[in-house]
Amino acid sequence: MRIAKIITAMVVLIVVSAAGFVCLAPESAFHLVVNAMRAKAGLQRKEIRLPDGLSYVYLDGGQGAPLMLLHGFGANKDNFTRVASLLTKHYRVIIPDHIGFGESSHPADADYSPTAQARRLRSFAQALGLTDLHIGGNSMGGHIAMTYAALYPKEVKSLWLLDPGGVWSAPKSALRTYVETTGKNPLMIKTDEDFVSLMPWVMSHPPFVPRPILNVMARERIANYILEERVIKAITTDSVEARVTGLTVPTLIVWGGEDRLIHPETANILHRLMPDSRIIVMPKTGHLPMFEKPRQSARDYLAFRASLGQ
């Protein structure tokens, strides 16, 4: 009985101490968690400067065939660390911050169209000595991944598309209807409250994150607001449909069945356009399958790659 009380007291002390640490030093707590997740995934933070002067900061780890994973609008490389922990045992995983996001360069006057971003990423891949690679992308990252494959089809072994953007003939999503009705875009973050309100838009079941940590995460978005206005105009005026019509790169299309940002019917449109594609719809999942359900996402991807013999 005495031992049980001691253990209970220790647990309470640990919880209270952790809560205090989060409240008093939220930035330190945030970076502690981020670094722990990277370490668990076997990923290291690296940086490379390209000949044009732009710098990419990226995560790199694992062994095997190279797999480059591309985050979406307003996100950064750490959106993929949860699923990467299940993939680095099989592949070399490279996860860059796009130019304009995260820790990579933020040139104010750059071209942020998916085509320009894809060309930059090819320069990034070449700088790492990668000539043939597999590419995965979520949302805007999927839009860029498809563009990369369309530009350099002989260099892309396969595509993993997680709720990708760039298909505007699809039915209106909840987000598009909301923007057209209110004139407000919940993806654009000006305040801490905007960031908190964004969570239910991008995930069906957002994990609990203490408010002080959310406030830390919001800072990156708030500071990048003006540049993100430019980026969102570039991606929402670019259609990928003609670009990928007839593209024969083997492709796994994954969609969250409860995606509020991009209508799930988009998966069928892409499937019709891309002859060597297959679809998986994940129920009770939002716009970030690899974050909400990393185990299922990894399992499905590994099965896809196994079917290719790669």
**Residues noted as catalytic:** 71, 139, 265, 287
Torsions phi, psi for 90 (to 5 deg): -115, -30
